Amino acid sequence: MTDREQAPQSVKDAQLASYQVDNRGQGMTTDQGIPVQDTDNSLKAGDRGPTLLEDFHFREKIMRFDHERIPERVVHARGSGAHGYFQLYESLAEYTSADFLCDPSLRTPVFVRFSTVQGSRGSADTVRDVRGFATKFYTRQGNFDLVGNNMPVFFIQDAIKFPDVIHAVKPEPHNEIPQAASAHDTFWDFVSLQPETMHHVMWLMSDRALPRSYAMMQGFGVHTFRLINAEGRSTFVKFHWIPKLGTHSLVWDEAQKIAGKDPDFNRRDLWEAIESGNHPEYELGLQLFTEEEAARLDFDVLDPTKLIPEEIIPVRRVGKLVLDRNPDNFFAETEQIAFCVQNVVPGIGFTDDPLLQGRLFSYLDTQLTRLGGPNFAQIPINRPVAPVHNHQQDGFHFDAVPAREANYHPNSISGNTPTPQGDRGYVHYPSQVAGPKLRLRPESFADHYSQAAMFWNSMSPWEKKHIVAAYRFELGRVVRKEIRQRMVEHLNRIDNDLAVAVAQGLGVAAPEKVTDNPGGRSPALSQAIEPKDKPLGRKVAILVADGVDAASVTPLVETLKAQGAVPELLAPVDGAVTAADGTPLPVDRAIVTVASVLYDAVVVPDGTAAAELICGDGYAVHFVAEAYKHAKPVAFIGAGAMVRTAANLPAGDAAAEAGVLTSGAGAPDEDFLGQLVTAVAAHRFFERPVDAVSA
C-alpha cells in the first residue's frame, strides 16, 4: 500500500483520534480541568442544609446531564453506523472529475449510517419500513454525502409533500399511536388520496421493507444526478449499492417476533459482523445515460417515483465499499453525523428533480436545530479531510481558532486570502432554465401505475404472496372501511388479481377488472434471483443437550465457521453439556434466552439421550417448528430426527422436504455438510407448505 493510498484514511483516523479521551487510570476533573474532590455529595450549608449555588461541580454535572439529549432526527431517528473505505476499480475520468472516482489507487474513508424512517430512536430495528443508506465520503476535494434508501423510488414527486407523507405515517397526533408502523388510518388515508405513492408503497409491502441485515440490503441514491467531466460534459447517473452477500429479507411473522426478542437485531448484527472480521461489503453500481437516452424513455427520469429497469440501462459496477471499523462512541459519531444532500464535490452535480431540489434545502436546515447551530461541520465526525479556509466565524460551538486580521473578502490586510479558486472550485453545471413561474407537475409525471405494475409483475410467486399478506395486514388495521375500499380501487388499476386477493382479506367488495395490467417486467427487481452461493454471516443454531454425540457436533461447527457462517450451540441451560462420551461440550447460550427468529438455520445433532431431552422441551420443539415455518433450513443427524417427528413437520413430497436435511448416525459426511452449507446459503425455501405448521 503506497503512502498516497493510505493518506486520506490515516488523516481521518488521526483527526478522530485527536478527540479521543482515555479516562482509564485518570483523576476526575471538571470540564475546565479543575480537580474534583467529591462527586457523591453536593456542597451544602451543614450536612442537612440547602445546596449552595457556588458548588460549580454540582451545577456543571447537572447541567451537562440535563443537556445530554440532542433533538432526535425527525425522520431516520433510529440508526446504526460504521467506518470503512471506498475504492474504485478503474478510472471514471471519462464521466467525472471527482478525484475519488478517477484514481483507483485511492482508498477514500467513509462513514455509513443505516436507519429506519418512521420510528423514534427507541423503536425496533425490524419494523416494516424504508431503510436509510447514507454514506459520507471524506474525499480530498471535500465531503460527498450520498444520502440514499434501500428502495430506488420514493413516495412523492415533490418535496413540498414531504411533511404531509411523514405526518401521515408517524404516530397519529391525537394519541401518539402506533410507533414505527404504517398500519393505521392516517397513512393509508394519505396514500389512497395521493396516487403518486403507489409504486413506492408496492416496495414497502414487499419483503424489501424487512431486510435480514444491513449487510444484505441494497442502497439507492433514488434521484437522477449528474456526473461532469473535466471538459464540462454531463452524464446522468443513478447510484446503486449492491451487497456482496446478496439481498435477503425476513418474513413478517419473524420480523414482528424479533422486535420483541431483540429490538436491536440489525444493529447488533452489524456490530458483531465487524467485530468478528466479517466486514460488510458492497459494490457501487452506476446507471450512466445521456439526456438523449433519457428523452427516449417512456417516463421522466426527474420523477423520483420511477426507476430505470436494469434491462434498459445496465448497472455498471465501479468500486467497492467495505465497512471495517465500529464507532468508538455512538453519540459522538453515529448520532452526531450530519448528512447533507448539498455536500457534493467537483464532478458531481444535481438535476431538477423537484424532490432532490427540496432536499438540498431541508438537510442543511434540520442540522441547524438538531446540532445546535451553524458549526456542525466542525464536529469531528463531520469534519472533512480536505483543508477548510473561509471567512465564516462565531456562533454556537465554533471550535476553530482562526489566525487572521481580516475576516472578509476582498481584503488587502491578509493578502486577499483565502481566495476564491475560480475554475478550480466547484462549478455548477450550466443547464438551461426557462419558463413561467408555476405550481404545476409536468405531464411526464402523470403515470402512477405502470411501474407499480412492473414491480408486481416481476415478483416470484412467494414474493407476490407476501405482498398480498402485507396489504391485508396493513389495511386490516385501518378502521375506516372507505379508506380500505379506495386502496383496493387503486390496486385494481395496477392488477386485478392483486386487488381481488387483497379485497378478499379485508371484507370489502372485490372489484371488477377495469383495465389491463399496465406494466412490463424487470427480473432484476425480484429477490428470487439474488446470489445464494455462500453462507457468509448466517447464524446457525445447533441444539444440544446432555448425551449429545460430540462427533456429530464438531464437524458441523468447523465446516460452518470455515464457510463464514456463525454456528452457536444452544442447550436447555447455559455453561456446558456432557456429551455421550462423558466430555464437556461448551454451550454458547441457553435456548430460553434466544429464539429461532434470531437464526438463519437450525441443526439437531445425533445422540439419543440428547434428542429425548430436546423432544421433552416444548420451547426447543417449537424452535424447530418455527424455523421450518419461516422457510429456513433445518437439519437432523441420527437420533436428532426424533425432534423432527416431535415438531410434526410436513413430509412426503418435494415441497415439504425443501431445505430439510437428514444424515445417518455419527459424524456427518462431507456430502451432508456440503448440502447443509448450500441450504444455509440459499436463505429460504418458500415452496414449503408452511401454513400447515402450528408454530
Catalytic residue list: 76, 149
At 59, which helix (H) or strand (E)? helix 56-66
Secondary structure element (H or E) that encloses residue 358, with its range: helix 354-370
10 Å Cβ neighbour count for 102?
19
Beta-carbon contacts of 345 under 8 Å, excluding residues fewer than 6 positions away, are 98, 99, 100, 139, 141, 142, 143, 144, 426
Question: Residue 207 has which C-alpha cell?
Answer: 419483503
**What residues are paired with 29 via a beta bridge?**
35
Q: If residue 191 lies in a helix (H) or strand (E), which one and from where to where?
A: helix 185-193
Residue partners of 38: CB distance under 8 A and separation at least 6: none
Angle, helices 185-193 vs 481-494, to 10°: value is 40
Q: Cβ neighbours of residue 593 under 8 Å, at least 6 residues apart? A: 574
Give the position of cell 447533507. 340
C-alpha grid cell for residue 171?
404516530
Q: Degrees (nearest 5) of the Cα angle 275, 340, 70? A: 70
CB atoms under 10 Å from CB of 655, counted, come to 13
Sheet holding 634-637, edge to edge: 589-590, 566-571, 539-543, 601-604, 634-637, 660-663
Q: How far apart are CA 194 and CA 155, in angstroms?
A: 9
CA-nearest of 508, 478, 479, 480 to 491 is: 508
Cell of 668: 456427518
d(C-alpha 133, C-alpha 130), whole Å: 10
Q: What values do phi and psi take at 253, rounded to 5?
A: -60, -40
Look at residues 607, 557, 611 and name the one whose alpha carbon lies nearest to residue 586.
557
> Which amino acid belongs to residue 246?
G
DSSP class of 249: B
Residues 132, 673: Cα–Cα separation, whole Å = 37
Whether the Cβ atoms of residue 29 and residue 35 lie closer than 8 Å to each other: yes
- Residue by residue, what is the 3-state secondary structure of 93-124? CCCCCCHHHCCCCCCEEEEEEEEECCCCCCCC
* 3-class SS string, 361-391: HHHHHHHHHHCCCCCHHHCHHHCCCCCCCCC
Return d(Cα 609, Cα 571) in angstroms, integer. 13
In the three-class reduction of DSSP (H, G, I as helix; E, B as strand; rest coil), residue 153 is classed as coil
Cα-to-chain-centroid distance, residue 532: 20
What is the distance between the alpha carbons of residues 335 and 76, in angstroms, rounded to a whole number? 11
Parallel/antiparallel/unpaired status of strands 566-571 and 142-149: unpaired
Pairing between strand 316-325 and 108-116?
Answer: unpaired
| Burial class (CB within 10 angstroms; exposed 0-12, middle 13-18, buried 19+) of 454 | buried
Sheet strands (E) in 290-430? 316-325, 348-349
CB atoms within 10 A of CB 419: 10
Instruction: Report the candidate in 379, 352, 538, 529 with the shortest Cα–Cα distance to residue 445.
Output: 352
